Amino acid sequence: MNSLSRKEHLLRLIQAHPAVTQQELADQLQLSRSAVAGYVAALIREGKILGRAYVLPDSRPVVCIGGANLDRKLRTLSDLQMGTSNPVSQYESFGGVARNVAENLARCGQRVQLMSIVGDDTAGQAILSYSAEQGIDTSACQTLAGVSSGSYTAVLDPQGEMVLALAQMDVCERLDPHFLRSRQRQRSAAAMIIADLNLPADSLSLLLQEAQQQQQQIPLVLIAVSQPKMQRLPAQLQGLSLLILNHGELEQRAGQALPDQAAIQQAVATLRAQGVQDVIVTMGSAGVLCTRPDTDLLTAIPAPQCEVVDVTGAGDAFSAGVCYSLLQQATQLELACQRGQQMAALTLQSSRTVSERLHPNIFQEESYA
């Protein structure tokens, strides 16, 4: 048996039993423990296993970094009238862009880890407890005393469309470079890193710098959260695999109105010149625009028709669907967007921020092919 076949045999043993010890491997292969250690080191260098725990690439989690908060949805019972009291119905759920994306992924069967910060209050305890119940690894989250957990209040019209949203996300300012460096080990073991723009600008710069240094071995996806927070996005975007933002956020970045697809296309071309590999622009009911390989042209994908119950969380479901699909290496961006739109449609038809209809075989169904 030559050295190559021994290494392949060792990899198969690890794949079958990831918790196997080096001594057990040595006994099965009739090798010395030092020889096994040499093969393991070679497999680590080749990226076929990750570190001493023999974490296999297929089992690596998606790491979601950013907001985790309590959502309050106030839906007016008739047309909103400013300057006076409006009767509403109220519904509370758990939100935050990064947390929502993580829950969508977990419901689809993806292993996922959340990195966020909550306050040492009732809301923070409930956010982490509920998230863990949905299959999200919250061990990298931090609970801080003396601060309030984030909250997001959306005012919806009778048709479920957003009229106004108020976000109290000061706790996310603690997601600073020190926080990220303290979780370097977990981030280095990720299959993909998804971060929202609730992170401070210097934290986003750190993530971009690391992605560039490792030549995008771990894809980095950034998700915009609002027009005001677009100013946090660094000027240079080298290392960024994918940027997901809406029309208004793209206008904010461009510093001008983008009235048609030609103008949007030029703004996206500018983003790519600044270093981002791919861009997706969501256009609400008009669908999405996404980049194509080796061209500045955009692909337009119409939105599926569905009844709208509540728009909250639909964008996060879309982002999760895109990222879930891209983790399947053969998936092209256009197909990923189509799948993301199907997940968004399920959320639009639900009063919940994350649809309970998601499941691990969601894209194997004929309607989601």
* Span 138-156, pLDDT tens digits: 999 999 999 999 998 989 9
Same domain, residue pair 36 and 130? no
Same domain, residue pair 211 and 273? yes
Q: What CATH number does the domain containing 10 carry?
A: 1.10.10
Helices assigned H by DSSP within 56-200: 97-107, 122-133, 177-181, 184-188
Same domain, residue pair 82 and 230? yes
pLDDT at 22: 82
Q: How far apart are CA 123 and CA 189, in angstroms?
A: 29
Lowest mean pLDDT among 47-61, 182-196, 309-323: 47-61
Same domain, residue pair 163 and 279? yes
Residue 51 lies in a domain: no
Helix (H, G, I), strand (E, B) or coil at 333: helix
* Span 301-321, pLDDT tens digits: 999 988 888 788 999 999 999
Domain tally for the chain? 2
Residue 369 has pLDDT above 50, yes or no: no
Same domain, residue pair 202 and 290? yes
pLDDT at 354: 92
Same domain, residue pair 19 and 102? no
Same domain, residue pair 69 and 27? no
Do 165 and 135 form a contact (C-beta atoms < 8 A)? no
Do 62 and 221 form a contact (C-beta atoms < 8 A)? no
Residue 114 lies in a domain: yes
324 CB burial (10 A radius; 0-12, 13-18, 19+) = buried
Residue 117 lies in a domain: yes
Same domain, residue pair 24 and 66? no
Residue 97 lies in a domain: yes
Q: How far apart are CA 272 and CA 193, in angstroms?
A: 19
CA nearest neighbour of 124 among 102, 146, 100? 146
Same domain, residue pair 116 and 182? yes
Residue 52 lies in a domain: no
pLDDT at 367: 42
Helices assigned H by DSSP within the chain: 3-16, 22-29, 33-45, 97-107, 122-133, 177-181, 184-188, 201-213, 247-254, 261-273, 314-326, 333-348
Same domain, residue pair 67 and 39? no
Same domain, residue pair 12 and 77? no
Q: What CATH number does the domain containing 115 carry?
A: 3.40.1190.20
Numbers of helices and strands, H then E, in the chain: 12, 14
Q: How far apart are CA 68 and CA 165, in angstroms?
A: 16
Domain hosting residue 177, numbered range: 62-368
Lowest mean pLDDT among 27-31, 55-59, 320-324, 340-344: 55-59
What average pLDDT does the chain have?
90
* pLDDT tier at 174, thresholds 50, 70, 90: very high
Same domain, residue pair 30 and 176? no
Residue 57 lies in a domain: no
Task: Extract the tokens encoding 30.
Answer: 């009739």
B/e letters for 144-167, b = 16+ CB within 10 Å, e = fewer, are eeebbbbbbbbbbeeebeeeeeeb
Entry pTM = 0.81
Residue 276 lies in a domain: yes
Residue 50 lies in a domain: no
